[in-house]
Chains A and B, each alone.
Chain A
Amino acid sequence: MATYEKVETRPAPLGTKGIIYWAKENLFSSILSSILTIISFYLMYVTIPPLLDWMIFDATWSGTKEEITKEGARWIFIFEKFNQFIYGFYPEELYWRPNLALFIFVVYVIIFKKINNVKMKAFILISFPIITFTLVSGGLGLEHVETEKWGGLLLTIIVASVGIIASFPIGILFALGRQSNMPIIKTLSVIYIEFIRGVPLITLLFMSSVILPLFFPEGMDFDKLLRALIGITLFQAAYIAEVVRGGLQAIPRGQYEAADALGLTYWKAMGLIILPQALKISIPNIVGSFISLFKDTTLILIIGLFDILAMVTLTNSDTDWLGFETEGYVFVTMIYWLICFSMSKYAKSIEDKFNTDHK
């Protein structure tokens, strides 16, 4: 007969709550982990306090250039040149026009979600670019402002939004073309998409700024900004096409067949059945592509347009304000980072909303 011995009960585990337990689990769970934790803390100790000192505690926030005594950042440079960073050489007395355009944009975004009338939505989508263009450029009794004077963040936003808006329909057409059954249309779309995606944006910008004028009869002069916009739109369209194609491929075959069985024409089937679903699932990737485009707009400074990044060099060529590159770059970095980061968080939130997987 088997004999059983009583085993002593094991001691109760130390608490599974509290900061010490947490630190043991998450910071010092093994020797390697402890070493990494110490290195991480050391890295933070080396970088963060000097950075904070430079940016905030030792920084010069007010006063004039001659009064600078502290070692840290001299933000007065940014305050002094703030208008140039935002508006470029746009005439100061006309700043209200881009501001108004921005205000209209915000209002439109707010009411766009609320209204359900398709015609109203179409009206907003079409009227917005016209209103903005009239406000910024002039016309209808408003004084004309040449595109050479557009600059700074204003130009960055204009280039990015024109690129986004104009490339979208073109990109969808190429995506449909690439999925088409017609061999010639398909080949043309594939060639276009792969060509554009295979070359750097900067060569396309060179092409649109140097070669494009040669393609048209003399006297048909393109504005420098317009040429850059054409290059950027052609570039972005190819990327949008690939993103939308991904969405189109994810739509089950049955949806296409059902649309055909209902007797819908190609455009009705696409517009009412396929594209709404395809675009919906590709929203995160579309936003991702927009973020890339927003970052890529900096390249226009290479062909001589003055976006916000170009303003750093330009404001530093003012003989009264030499040697303030660092402040300029840090300021522009913060603006780009804020915009890109919030866009990517937005994309992530949409992705999570659509993601119904169990993790």
Chain B
Amino acid sequence: MKKHKRAKQPQVAFYNNPENRAIIYQLIALVLIFLVTYFVINNMFINIEKRGINTGFDFLGSEAGFGILQSLIEYDESDTHGKVFIVGLLNTILVSVIGIIFATIIGLLVGIGRLSKNFMVSKLSMIYVETFRNIPILLQILFWYNVVLASLPSPKQSITFFDSIFFNNRGLYIPRPILESGFTAVIIAFIIALISVIYLSKWASKKHDETGKEFPTFWVSLGILISAPLFVFLVSGSPATLEIAELKGFNFRGGWTLIPELLALAFALSIYTATYIAEAVRAGIEAVPKGQKEAASALGLKDHIILKKVILPQALRVIIPPVINQYLNLVKNSSLATAIGYPELVTIFSGTSLNQVGQAIEIILMTMAVYLTLSILISILMNYINSRMQIKER
């Protein structure tokens, strides 16, 4: 008869111990990464030397020598590549901000529209989302630019609104406000109004907590914010005038010009991103359980209070993260401007500057660093919002 031996503590070979194994695997991974990096960088230096490419960031101080279609700051051909970088970055930010504002507005409307009880509204919203979401963004940009905007009339036959806004194949011309010295008072009035509104809302919410009475904070704040600066503006004798674009020769002069590249890009980005925002809004509202709404109506709350105090706070928690993600996508997609020549970061810095200087590595790494910084900033923001929006469970 066999004797049952008591199980001994198993003798594990050194290389079979999971902890040791983990260390070995990681060391191997590190060594491999190191070897690959060494191989790559070594080759890179050899190749750079052979091709006679400069290294370092000195090129940022050298003269660019090319003009830029549109710039938010003073720029001319004798400026440096460093300034080209700044101009491009500002143009990226410009188109992103315009795109984000319009995408949010359209997305919100369409997202709510898809849940509408109105048959036509919900179906049209659905058609909008399904159409534009399934067409590549680059194709949309090219279409608006090459087909729609190119078929607009010439400056002489501009489409005109209110005798002051002109729309033609050279772009959109809008009046530009010219601020005079007295305008500072208006700005100060606005800041004072803003501060008083903040205090007002604090007071109102305190009053609500204590007495349960609602104060129409939103409308009162809006009134203060608009009326105070307007009052100062009128009293100080309207210290601003509008400069309207005028047709001189073959083109318009003066006013603000939105070039067709900017229009096509901003339009396509807004339309495309809005479809994703609409889906996020819809998913967020649908994610609130039906019982929440029913419970709120059972308590006798009015419809708009239910929306404001019960549905939206819960829906926003689901809506905000994907929407911020879409903002980030919009910023990244703005780099497609290079296909139509809108002068943003990738077009003029990774495009024109790179062709002139030839220092691909530095330039592309700088461009990537810009977008990486933006994504890191946005993900920090997102984590902050997420932690604020979490349900505080007791």
Q: Are B138 and A41 in contact (CB under 8 A)?
A: no
Residues of A within 8 A of B62 (CB): none
Q: Are A207 and B118 in contact (CB under 8 A)?
A: no
Q: Are A333 and B143 in contact (CB under 8 A)?
A: yes
The answer to whether B50 has its CB under 8 Å from any CB of chain A is yes
A249 to B137 alpha-carbon distance, docked (Å): 31
Q: How does the 8 Å CB contact mask read for B207-229 relative to A, with 1 for contact and 0 for none?
A: 00000000000000000000000
Q: Are A211 and B360 in contact (CB under 8 A)?
A: yes
Given contacts A185-B25, A337-B131, contact A36 B118 (CB under 8 A): yes
Given contacts A218-B47, A333-B135, contact A37 B335 (CB under 8 A): no
Given contacts A215-B40, A299-B138, A333-B143, contact A341 B130 (CB under 8 A): yes
A298 to B26 alpha-carbon distance, docked (Å): 38
Q: How does the 8 Å CB contact mask read for B360-375 relative to A, with 1 for contact and 0 for none?
A: 1100100110011011
Can you name the residue of chain A whose Cβ is closest to the Cβ of B338?
A302
The answer to whether B136 has its CB under 8 Å from any CB of chain A is yes
A301 to B336 alpha-carbon distance, docked (Å): 11
Q: Are A181 and B22 in contact (CB under 8 A)?
A: yes
The answer to whether B105 has its CB under 8 Å from any CB of chain A is no
Residues of A within 8 A of B338 (CB): 202, 302
Q: How does the 8 Å CB contact mask read for B145-189 relative to A, with 1 for contact and 0 for none?
A: 011000000000000000000000000000000000000000000
Stretch at the interface among A85-93, A125-133, A143-151, A193-201: A193-201
Q: How does the 8 Å CB contact mask read for B294-338 relative to A, with 1 for contact and 0 for none?
A: 000000000000000000000000000000000000001101101
Stretch at the interface among A108-116, A221-229, A324-332: A324-332
Residues of A within 8 A of B346 (CB): 200, 202-203, 206
Q: Are B136 and A207 in contact (CB under 8 A)?
A: no
Residues of B within 8 A of A217 (CB): 43, 46
Of B118, B139, B147, B335, most buried by chain A (CB within 10 Å of CB) is B118
Residues of A within 8 A of B376 (CB): 198
Q: Are A27 and B119 in contact (CB under 8 A)?
A: yes
The answer to whether A40 has its CB under 8 Å from any CB of chain B is yes
Residues of A within 8 A of B22 (CB): 181-182
Q: How many A-B residue pairs have CB under 8 A?
A: 146
The answer to whether A188 has its CB under 8 Å from any CB of chain B is yes
Given contacts A33-B118, A185-B25, contact A210 B336 (CB under 8 A): no
The answer to whether B120 has its CB under 8 Å from any CB of chain A is yes
Q: Are A329 and B131 in contact (CB under 8 A)?
A: no
Tell me how far the C-beta of A221 lies from the nearest C-beta in chain B, rounded to whole angstroms.
Answer: 12
Q: Are B138 and A203 in contact (CB under 8 A)?
A: no
Question: CB within 8 Å of B: which of A304-327?
Answer: 309, 312, 325-326
The answer to whether B192 has its CB under 8 Å from any CB of chain A is no
Which of A26, A184, A312 touches B117 (beta carbons < 8 Å)? A26
Q: Are B124 and A200 in contact (CB under 8 A)?
A: no
Which of A44, A201, A329 touches B142 (beta carbons < 8 Å)? A329
The answer to whether B11 has its CB under 8 Å from any CB of chain A is no
Q: Are A37 and B118 in contact (CB under 8 A)?
A: yes
The answer to whether B339 has its CB under 8 Å from any CB of chain A is yes
Category for how many chain A residues contact B: 35 or more
A291 to B276 alpha-carbon distance, docked (Å): 14
Q: How does the 8 Å CB contact mask read for B31-59 relative to A, with 1 for contact and 0 for none?
A: 00100000010011011101000000000
The answer to whether A261 has its CB under 8 Å from any CB of chain B is no
Residues of A within 8 A of B134 (CB): 291, 295, 336-337, 340-341, 344
Which of B43, B119, B120, B124 touches A214 (beta carbons < 8 Å)? B43
Residues of B within 8 A of A340 (CB): 133-135
The answer to whether A29 has its CB under 8 Å from any CB of chain B is yes
The answer to whether B91 has its CB under 8 Å from any CB of chain A is no
The answer to whether A58 has its CB under 8 Å from any CB of chain B is no
**How many residues of B are counted as interface, with CB atoms below 8 angstroms from the partner's CB atoms?**
52
Tell me how far the C-beta of A315 lies from the nearest C-beta in chain B, rounded to whole angstroms.
Answer: 13
Q: Are B361 and A214 in contact (CB under 8 A)?
A: yes
Main SS class of interface, A:
helix
Q: Are B118 and A27 in contact (CB under 8 A)?
A: yes
Q: Are B371 and A210 in contact (CB under 8 A)?
A: no
Q: How does the 8 Å CB contact mask read for A29-53 relative to B, with 1 for contact and 0 for none?
A: 1000100110011011000000000
Which of B48, B137, B339 touches A301 (beta carbons < 8 Å)? B339
The answer to whether B191 has its CB under 8 Å from any CB of chain A is no
A181 to B367 alpha-carbon distance, docked (Å): 33
Tell me how far the C-beta of A209 lies from the nearest C-beta in chain B, rounded to whole angstroms.
Answer: 9
A203 to B121 alpha-carbon distance, docked (Å): 40
Given contacts A185-B26, A211-B360, contact A40 B44 (CB under 8 A): no
A298 to B336 alpha-carbon distance, docked (Å): 10
Residues of A within 8 A of B240 (CB): none
Q: Are B138 and A309 in contact (CB under 8 A)?
A: yes
Which of B26, B47, B147, B336 touches A325 (beta carbons < 8 Å)? B147
Given contacts A197-B375, A199-B372, contact A298 B136 (CB under 8 A): yes
Can you name the residue of chain A whose Cβ is closest to the Cβ of B346?
A202
A215 to B38 alpha-carbon distance, docked (Å): 10
Given contacts A298-B139, A309-B138, A344-B134, contact A329 B119 (CB under 8 A): no
Tell me how far the C-beta of A307 lies from the nearest C-beta in chain B, rounded to whole angstroms.
Answer: 10
Residues of A within 8 A of B50 (CB): 218
Given A40-B118, A202-B335, A329-B147, 13 other A-B residues pairs in contact with their CB atoms under 8 A: A36-B118, A43-B124, A183-B26, A203-B335, A203-B364, A203-B367, A214-B44, A214-B47, A295-B134, A309-B138, A329-B142, A340-B133, A341-B134
Q: Could you list some 24 contacts between A and B, CB below 8 A? A: A36-B120, A40-B118, A44-B124, A184-B30, A185-B29, A198-B374, A198-B376, A200-B332, A200-B333, A200-B335, A200-B336, A206-B346, A213-B47, A214-B44, A214-B47, A214-B48, A214-B360, A217-B43, A291-B134, A301-B339, A302-B336, A309-B136, A329-B143, A337-B131
Q: Which 4 A-B pairs have the closest CB atoms?
A: A198-B375, A340-B134, A40-B120, A295-B136
